[in-house]
Amino acid sequence: MSKTSAKASISTTLLAGISLWRRDVIRFLRQRSRVVGALGTPIIFWVLLGSGLGKSFRASGGADGVSYSEYSFPGTVILIVLFTAIFATISIIEDRREGFLQGVLVAPVGRSAIVFGKILGSSTLAVAQALLFMVAMPLAGMTITLSAVFLSFATLIIVSVGLSALGFVIAWRMQSTQGFHAIMNLFLIPMWLLSGAIFPVSGAAGWLGWIMKVNPLTYGVAAMRYALYGGSVDRIGDVPSWSVSLAVTSGFAVAMVTLSAWVVDRRN
């Protein structure tokens, strides 16, 4: 391929990807139930867990004086991202079933445009909703600082891309949304439960602790925890270091995006 045509190919892929991204955002805003599902469910979890466990919670690995609402706040932010990524990637299955995808598959653009558009669309929605939820930080006894917002924004992008790409890899070959729901219940939700979102690694039994240590989302939740405190470590408790958390989370995102690009290019 000559240099100019390679350039043309990149710009057509970009144009197609951006168009697919825009479409996903428009569709999301036109389907109110999806907003409720992705934002509402995690908030209800958080309120109920906070009120129910608040009194009995004594985090062995948590910092002193941290309420359960506060402890579970970063995990809730990550759950919003996870739910949004799940719903956004389920739309691939719907696109396939409703026939929209067939038109994209015969267009003269690389399939990487589909990966690019979907992951970007899903991440945009996830980051926007998670930032919106951060307005509730004072309810958990946390202070919203400028550095918290900036660091959270950056961290959310990395976590969202990783989880969206993970959803993409799972959804790409699936024929039915029921199949995805099964995976969600058997794999994605446990992955979140065992990420330090609702109980710390140090509080888990031996084998469970090990699962939590190899769970990449543990590092995503930890990174989110650091970011929400604007980098201050007083109330963080016993979690992996910030640099390790960011490195693992970024590595996970890169790996998942690469995997997405690979599955989408395999011929049927």
Partner 1 sequence: MPPESAIEIASVSHSYGDRRALDKVSMQVPSGRICGLLGPNGGGKTTLFKILTTLIAPTSGTAYVGGCHIVERQREVRRKIGVVFQTSSLDRHLTATENLIHQGHLYGLRGKELQRRAALLLELFGLGDRSHDRVAIFSGGMQRRLELAKALLHQPEILILDEPSTGLDPAARRTLMDHLHELREESGITTLITTHLMEEADRCDLVAILDNGRLVGMDSPTALKRTIGGEVLTISTANPIKLVEQIKDRFEITASIVDGQVRIEREQGHAMVGDIMDAFGEKIESITVGKPTLEDVFFSLTGHQLGNKSTVGLAQAETMR
- The least distance separating partner 1 from the CB of residue 89, rounded to whole angstroms, comes to 17
Q: Which CB, 34 or 225, lies closer to partner 1? A: 34
Among 48, 107, 139, 233, interactor with partner 1 by CB under 8 A: 107
Residue entry with tokens 């969206």: 164
Does the footprint of partner 1 cover residue 30 (CB under 8 A)? yes
Q: Angle at the Cα of 182 (from 177 to 188), degrees rounded to 5?
A: 105
Backbone angles phi, psi at 7, to 5 degrees: -65, -45
Which residue in 1, 24, 21, 5 sits closest to 113, CA to CA? 21
Structure-token pair, residue 212: 């939590």
Give yes or no for a contact between 221 and 196, defined as CB atoms under 8 angstroms apart. Answer: yes
Give yes or no for a contact between 9 and 1, defined as CB atoms under 8 angstroms apart. Answer: yes
Among 25, 61, 100, 209, interactor with partner 1 by CB under 8 A: 100
Contact string (CB under 8 A) for partner 1, positions 44-83, x = contact? ----------------------------------------
Among 35, 43, 104, 189, interactor with partner 1 by CB under 8 A: 104
End-to-end alpha carbon distance in the chain: 25
Does the footprint of partner 1 cover residue 31 (CB under 8 A)? yes
Q: Which CB, 23 or 173, lies closer to partner 1? A: 23
- Which residues contribute to the site for partner 1 (CB under 8 A)? 8, 11-12, 15-16, 18-20, 22-23, 26-27, 30-31, 98-100, 102-109, 113, 267-268
